[in-house]
Each structure stands twice: as structure tokens, then as C-alpha cells.
A = this chain, B = another copy of it.
Amino acid sequence: MEDPLTLALNLMGTFAFGLSGGILAVRKKMDLFGVLVLSVATGLGGGIMRDIILGHTPPATLSDWRYLAVAGLAGLLVFVWYSRVVQHGRFINAFDAVGLSIFTVTGTTIAINAGLSPAPAALLGMLTGVGGGVLRDILGAEVPLIFRSEVYAVASMLGAIIIIVASQTELSGIPAEIIAAIATFSLRMVSVRRGWRIPIAMPKPDPTC
């Protein structure tokens, strides 16, 4: 059902998320197996959550063994060459942004095709994009990255909104998906480079904290 381009991009995204899962696992001093588990959970998590919520079972990332292989390979690479992998931090950020962009776009498109209305479809697309990372941080006992004041989920939201708007017009399909993915990728990368932050609420001191 997936065209070769989408499949290739999806696998690239899975690989990038797999790397990020493996890196957290090594930092947390997990063993080889823990590294692989966290790589696979991060790489496949978002797509599995999307398919479960839509009732598309078994999930696509489990029906096609290549997703599992790519995520596991990423974990193995991190385990063996950790020091080298983390030296290429900017490279990883770019891969990760590719994954975020692709998963957001394909997740939103699949949700629309499943008959969800615009706002829930956007929400499900974002869950596809950020879900793997949230699972990674929960398993690693960290407050999820998307909550730590970075323009991450916002970039995902931008891509989802573009897909939603396009689906209401004649500009849908591949062109809209490419535009949405580039927009998400660009916003994420620029915000990392510029250190953009989202405002946080500044409550007065609160004794119940």
C-alpha cells in the first residue's frame, strides 16, 4: 500500500528515532538489550499508537518486518559506536526532524482517510510524530522532551494543520504532503539553531506545589 518513496522516508524516520532511543538508553546505563528495546519502542511507538487508536490491527509497523529491523539496527549502532554517534549531534537532530515530519504527515493523512474530523485528525498525526519520543522518555523515567520548552510538538502541529487545510482544497496528495513535511522539518531545525522557546506560565508562588 505504501509507495517506495513513502516507505523509504518512513524507514529513515524509524532509524532516526531508533538512534535517539538508543542514545537515551546508553546514557541511562542500560544493557545491550535495554538499548535495543528502547530503540524499537521509540522507532515503532508512534505508528503503533496511531494504528491501535484507528483500529488498524495488526499495526503496519509490525506487519512489515523492515521497520523492526531498521529500529534494531539503529540501537545496535548506538551500542557499539556510542561516542561516534553522539559526535554527530546535528546530524541526528536532522534525522530526528525528518522522522517527526514524515510521521506527522503520514499519520494525519491516515487519520483523515479513516474518517476523523480535522481537529482529531491533527491530534492523531501529532501523536504519530511525537508518540515514539514520549514512550522513550516514559520508559527512561524522564519528563518527556516535548514538555521541556522546545518547539517540537509545535512543528508537528504546523505540518498537521497544513495537511488538514490541504485536504479541504484541491491541493492534496503528494504535493501537500511534501510541503507539510518541509514546513515541519524547517520549523524544527530553525528553532533548534536559534534556540526558540515557547512561553511558560509564570504563576505566583503557590504553597501547594
A residues adjacent to B (C-beta < 8 A) = 25-35, 37-38, 40, 48, 52-55, 57-59, 62-63, 65, 68-69, 78-80, 82-83, 86, 89, 114-120, 123-124, 134, 138-144, 146-149, 153-154, 157, 197-201, 203-204, 206, 208-209
Contact = CB atoms under 8 A, between A and B. Distances in A.
B32 A198 contact: yes
A26 B119 contact: no
A119 B65 contact: yes
A38 B144 CA distance: 11
B201 A68 contact: no
A142 B28 CA distance: 13
A55 B57 contact: yes
B53 A146 contact: no
B62 A124 contact: yes
